[in-house]
A and B are shown apart, each in its own frame.
Chain A
Amino acid sequence: MRNVLLALLLLPLLAAAQSTLIPQSGWAAKARPDLVLVVVLAWNLASPHAESILWALIGGLAVDALSGGPMGASVLALLAATLLANFTSARVWQSHLFLRIAVTVPGSMLYYLIYSLVLAFSGWQADWASVSVTIFLPAAALNTALMLLLFPSARWVSARIAPRAIGM
């Protein structure tokens, strides 16, 4: 429950920051990290509980409400990336810190891929090849760098408010 409460408090604020503060920076014209995506991934890598998946819904709704894109697009894309992080962290790479952080790369790419597909199916037009090179790849690199900073914090917080049960 505290897990979800934290998401309700944190993610709308991060979505608003992503919409207001991040575009103010000089480098935003070249590449922007996705704060909500990185924090949701970090939380699911640090705390792969079932209810952590709800972070994708809360974060996705906050992003979609501020975006001109179709409502539900970020939810679906974030959900795919979150499931990747949650399932892998819960099953395979529990002890490998850097492998867990490395999930940010496929997680980001999956997020952008799903988001693009939803936009394309909704009738949005763009030069997707150009968008992939100029926006997705730099953003995925920035997201990974940001994850290196945020993951230890996410692990610290999750250890205090949502400690993992020991599986039998």
Chain B
Amino acid sequence: MRRHASLSRTAIAIVLVAAALLLLALGQQGQLGQLQNLLSTVLTPLQEGLAELAPVIPADEQVAPQALLDRNATLAAENARLRSEAVRLREAVAERDMLAELLDFERENYGHTYLTAEVIGRDPSAFLQFLILNKGTTSGVQRGMPVVTGAGLAGVISEATPRASKVLMVNSAQMAVNVRLQESRATGVLFGQASSDLRLRFVPLDADLSAGNLAVTSGLGGTLPADIPVGEVASVRRRAYDVFQEAEVLPMVDFSRLELVLIITDFTPTDLNPLLATAEPGTP
């Protein structure tokens, strides 16, 4: 009987390993869109529900069991006060919505069309920096669209399902952003790091680079619009024998507190591959 159970366990294990490898292979070829859409349809409502719940859970709060009764009484009194305050806040919310609408209008007329999206989740894996937004292809979101906040660039849409999308954050190790330093006009490339800070590389040695300099997107490469703030130089590493200088850069966006973001929906990344292909040696 035990031998039978062991065989059955081994058979299931072999089948599942094969299934996992098949998933990886199909995923690499981009053939799992339907499966991802299906899973997203199931999981997005769960995430939205839990994301609504998240703000009412106090972070790192420890309550001694004996204090719970006292706290309950305090909360009951506070509840009565909050009920009256809620009426006033509803008015404030209505006013805020109108102001937000005006702000959206102003931004739209400034140069881009924005879509507001709520952050409903983050990557479950601790070392991948992705956000999950509550807007997807049905709202017009597409892969490659830049995602910003009032402070600056947050990331780029890496994947979109009908109701949700994933954002590869600027501080991810997979991310490289072409930037220009506003003061010196020198260009460089910002890379994400595991520490969540950014590293600026490929800045010419003779460029004037110092702490406090603002790095904005340069638009080079055609993957992002120009002039979006990305970070501020914190420290510079310059060695005489290097070809380039490097800098540690603090991101403009506080990634740990992102709740609402704007997706730039009217920007289409430029595909430079056809141009690069024609530049191959021997091509007329």
- Which positions in A face B, CB cutoff 8 Å? 12-13, 15-21, 23-27, 29, 31-32, 34, 36, 49-51, 53-54, 56-57, 60-76, 79, 83, 86-87, 90, 115, 118, 122, 124-127, 130-131, 134-135, 139, 165, 167-168
Cβ 8 A contact of A53, one of B12, B46, B130: B12
Which applies to chain B's interface (DSSP): helix, strand, loop or mixed? helix
Q: Are the CB atoms of B121 and A66 closer together than 8 Å?
A: yes
Contact of B138 with A by CB under 8 A: no
List the A side residues contacting B57 at CB < 8 Å.
21, 24
CA distance A49 to B4 in the complex (A): 12
Q: A16-B43, A20-B51, A25-B60 known; A122 and B28 CB under 8 Å?
A: yes
A44 to chain B, nearest CB (A): 10
Contact of B186 with A by CB under 8 A: no
Which applies to chain A's interface (DSSP): helix, strand, loop or mixed? helix
Q: What are 20 A-B contacts defined by CB distance under 8 Å?
A: A19-B47, A19-B121, A19-B132, A20-B120, A20-B121, A61-B39, A64-B23, A66-B121, A66-B124, A67-B125, A70-B28, A72-B25, A73-B24, A74-B125, A76-B21, A79-B17, A115-B125, A125-B173, A131-B194, A167-B5
A118 to chain B, nearest CB (A): 7
Q: Which residue of A lies closest to B130 (CB)?
A: A68
Number of interface residues of B (CB under 8 A): 60
Q: Are the CB atoms of A65 and B2 closer together than 8 Å?
A: no
CA distance A49 to B12 in the complex (A): 11
List the B side residues contacting A18 at CB < 8 Å.
124
A142 to chain B, nearest CB (A): 10
List the A side residues contacting B17 at CB < 8 Å.
76, 79
Which B residues between 193 and 237 are near A, CB-CB below 8 angstroms?
193-195
CA distance A56 to B51 in the complex (A): 25
Q: Are the CB atoms of A165 and B1 closer together than 8 Å?
A: yes
A-B contacts, CB under 8 A, total: 169
Contact of B82 with A by CB under 8 A: no
CA distance A48 to B122 in the complex (A): 31
Q: A20-B120, A66-B124, A127-B193 known; A72 and B16 CB under 8 Å?
A: no
CA distance A72 to B39 in the complex (A): 13
CA distance A25 to B174 in the complex (A): 25
Which B residues between 1 and 35 are near A, CB-CB below 8 angstroms?
1-2, 5-6, 8-9, 11-13, 16-17, 19-28, 32, 35
Q: Are the CB atoms of B54 and A62 closer together than 8 Å?
A: no
Q: Which residue of B lies closest to A65 (CB)?
A: B39
